[in-house]
Amino acid sequence: MAFSAGVKQELCRPRIARRCCAQAEAYGVLLFCGAFHSRQARIVTECPALKERLPALFRRAFRVSFDQITGRGEGKSAFLIEDPAKLRTIFEAFDLEWDASVSLHINLALLEEEHCRTAFLRGAFLAGGSVTDPMKGYHLELATSHYYVGRELPALLREAGFEPKETSRKGNFVIYFKQNEHIEDFLTFLGAPVSAMAVMNAKLERDLQGRVNRQVNCDSANLDKTVAAAREQLAAIGRLRESGRLETLPDKLRETARLRTEHPELNLAQLGALCDPAVGKSALNHRMRKLMELAEGLKGEQTRDG
């Protein structure tokens, strides 16, 4: 199941209690559905849970039934009301003008109570909302075809403590969130705490994976540096050995050369632990620099002799 469908399924689980909240939820559905005007209400959805919820929601809110329901199986279904008497009942419930030429607004007077605002926003998301799988990204949006609704919803959300962004796309007005914290809070507000927790867990998992990747990259870079340094050190030791100078060096330097030759894959701290007695990284680094300087001196001598 897609993440967005799972969110809607969770939102549809609570029973429809107060009639005022049923009307508010239906109001959100109608303003964000396929079509809503004085001639028709058409709600299109492919969410199975919403398909089951809509008939009960409209009976509770308006005591009306749908005139027609198409595509009851899998895929998209359309819920239609075209009976003028039923449509007038719905319009009167929201105190809307019975005129197809009048643009629809959000009647804020019907949403004064917080539980009604929550129900309204839940209906809006069920009909016109979507949210990206948080393992792939963070994006939640609500889209409506009604201009004033698209302008008034952000104000309603800000009153509820949210900071949405706005845009338009293909004739629709889109209100959206891009930050995971805002999406978590909004889903919790709507009544989908399980989905909100999934967003939080996804963020933690992505952060952990990011830290692991950065550590792996850092370890890889350090390994590359160790290999390159060891290659230079082995070349220097080889020059000292070929010249006969290696055997004349102090015991500590000869021990360092021997350990580096036997363990080219180890870093300086690991080599230092093999010394007898063990020495720290700083001490072994000092010895290694001395070997490198002696080898560089050999190169200078060879150049002058040449």
What is the rounded distance in angstroms from the CA atom of residue 30 to the CA atom of residue 57? 12
What is the rounded distance in angstroms from the CA atom of residue 288 to the CA atom of residue 286? 5
Give the count of alpha carbons within 13 A of 239, CB side only.
Answer: 17
Please give the angle made by the CA atoms of 295, 297 and 300, to the nearest 5 degrees. 120
Give the count of alpha carbons within 13 A of 150, CB side only.
Answer: 22
Q: What is the pLDDT of residue 305?
A: 53
Q: Both tokens of residue 152?
A: 């008034």
Q: Both tokens of residue 219?
A: 């370890």
- Min mean pLDDT across 236-240, 261-265, 298-302 is at 298-302
What is the rounded distance in angstroms from the CA atom of residue 117 to the CA atom of residue 157? 9
Tens-digit pLDDT profile for residues 20-74: 999 999 999 999 987 998 899 999 999 999 999 999 999 999 999 999 998 767 7
What is the rounded distance in angstroms from the CA atom of residue 172 to the CA atom of residue 286? 69
Q: What is the mean pLDDT of residues 235-239?
A: 87
Confidence of residue 234 (pLDDT cuts 50, 70, 90): confident
Q: Both tokens of residue 79?
A: 């819920």
CA distances 240 to 243, 275, 292, 301, Å, are 5, 20, 9, 12
SS3 label, residue 242: helix
Q: What is the mean pLDDT of residues 122-138?
A: 94
